[in-house]
Structure 1
Amino acid sequence: MSQKEIRIGMIGYQFMGKMHSHAYRDFPFYFDTEVKPVLQAIAGRNEAAVKAAAEKMGWASYETDWRRLIERDDIDVIDISTPNHTHAEIALAAAEAGKHIIIEKPLSLTVEEAERMLEAVKKNKVIHMICHNYRFSPAVQYAKKLIDEGRLGKLYHIRANYLQDYIVDPDFPLVWRLQKDVSGSGSLGDIGAHSIDLARFLVGEFKELVSIMETFIKERPIASLQGGLSATADTSQKGEVTVDDAALFLARFDNGVLGTFEATRFAQGNRNKNKFEINGEKGSIRWDMENMNNLEVYLADDEPGLQGFRLINCTEEHHPYAGAYWPAGHIIGYEHTFINLIHDFLEAVAAGTQPKPDFEDGLKNQKVLAAVEESARLKSWVSL
């Protein structure tokens, strides 16, 4: 099999950088492919740390300036795994340099930035993708298949919750995710963005919504050291939390579906409870990321006495992506959602096609995020 090398340059090397590195390395192991990802270089500001990360994760070289990474002619793809406030500047530069782009969510800080980013990738004819990895769980893909086949009939409801608890402690440090100028929003953009993307993927486009948002802890100790989702606090001084701790909203979709959404990082006992339920005229489906291999399915035409939610373990070759891994019942994990995503992205780069979700999806998601914030500020319904 002749192989097509695709040379990757990644900016950022913490939580998502580690996940993306793993996906690049493992994707050819599981999938029959002619694509060969080459881990060419990563970039980060701390030379000692980025050098150590490059050695540990298998990157051939490193840079301490992301601009230098983009300038290199031995790189085809720029992977942006940095804090949200850097996304637009890096993506615009990468597009102008003719590099294909894969970027972590949310796409940007604002709708205006997202519009410029989408315009840039289109103008420069580069392939682009946004990392909403939960779309790539085999169970979610199978849910999409059932919906598209009409197995649920006309859809009525979606209710989605994304619940975490890692910042409940008021002494948890003021990390970048709690600062609006860096993150754009709090639980809304950090985790609620995933629920929004899943809703658009499975149900359709948002029409209008009404929301409430709350910041429970107004001040926190300054973060003296942070990496991934962990941090160390400097208890001698505090700073203001400028984002939401929780965001809840009701929505109506273009097709008449009603939605309820909740995103919070103050739900004790929920480490990463990303879940949804969709109800239609012929049945319902449920999914929970903490049991990501399983899809619960209820079909109303089952005979009386047998009706009820059945548990489908989506690990068989009949389920999207699952056939690339293990025999039925041998479950996969969180990291495999990224492997599936990277598979679709690199195959698209090799073929010159455009994968989904892309920057257009990112812009649409960004408009929903902005509408949630506007509705909370105005205390009224907002149309999209």
Structure 2
Amino acid sequence: MMFKKIFPSLFFFFLSIFIWAIQYGFDLIIGDADGKIKVWDIYVFIGFIQIFLMLCALLWIPEVLRRFRGNFSATYEELLKRNSVSVLICFILFFFMCIDLIGSIFFNEREIERVHTASYYRTQHPCFHHGLVHNMASEAFWGDIKYPLYTNSFAFRDSAAFEAKQNLDKKQIVFIGDSFTEGVGVAYENTFFGRMRKEFSNNTEIELWNAGCVSYSPLIYYNKIKYYTEVENLKIDYLWVFIDATDVQDELNYKDFRPNCNQKYLPKAGMADSYRYKMIEDNSLFDIYKNHSLFVRLISNTYINFFTDLSADKKMYYYNNRFAWLDNEEIYQEWGKEGVKLAQNNMQSLVELCKEKNIKLAIVVYPWPIMLNNYDKLSSFIRLFMNFDYIFVVNLLILFQIVLVFA
């Protein structure tokens, strides 16, 4: 009799438990025991189905209470009629659940593939935060621009994917910088480094390597050179560091980064599965549903766009004002001064590392187009590094001649 009284809610509750058991039990028996269901090579997150069933169980509690008072319906039609509101809400929830399930499978999958395609050739690194994957041949993206990307076994951008080996009879020149030095959005042969490499391809005295990568800054320059010289045993005779005004903003983004440069790390290309199903990395139940539910993500993004002060996001705030510190005293005092200090201290660390390793250092300060017609911005930036030896403020068109003289 008790079972009959609570059956309406109990039915949905046990159905939810049953689906959970299928999800984990089925995968435990024939899968890899990670609790993830894979259909047609697509991970399917069914948590919102369970939420739907639990909500239905709650919606039928009024009927359970009626039955505890001895008020049972005589027919099935009467049962539906006196619970018409609960039935209607269940159907509405079921409708949205189906749309959400389809959306999570197809629309989210497309987004996952887009993110994976746009970034799988980049990787995190415990010592210098991030870099490129070694021996990679792929199509890369910079906004809507698609271009070929190749890396060698040093994980440096190159003309092709190959096992790199230094010719120790030649002077080894390493360039390092951010996206401009890496050459994002441009085929290798059209980057300034690619043109320089071609220019000196028949030179028997020097060999050039490009260690540049997007969003690098003095902290990353120091850590990467330290890692490659001490862990990877890369020979460097000359180091050319390419600095621009955005390095100050990037320094603030990395100020909480704690590098681990004591052991060799072999980064691998990002796998689509790591983007497709991130439950282990998610920090809260809300994050899980936001990453896998179309509606939760839509609601979350709507809230962020209309009710959140985006300026509170420090990284975005720095990015949107990345040049303002040069001629805006208020912004300079707010965060530019700290970024400048970090940049100068980390560059000094790099100078000392180069002296220790007997590496001849050149610091190349180059302007962005926005700075060319603003002498105050350009001169303010250049003055930051005037106390360092071997500083060059150059037009990159004459960089070929400078390299020849320096080497």
Q: Given the two structures, how large is their TM-score scaled by the length of structure 1?
A: 0.23
Bigger proportion of residues as helix: 2
Q: Given the two structures, how large is their TM-score scaled by the length of structure 2?
A: 0.22
Tell which structure's C-alpha radius of gyration is larger.
2
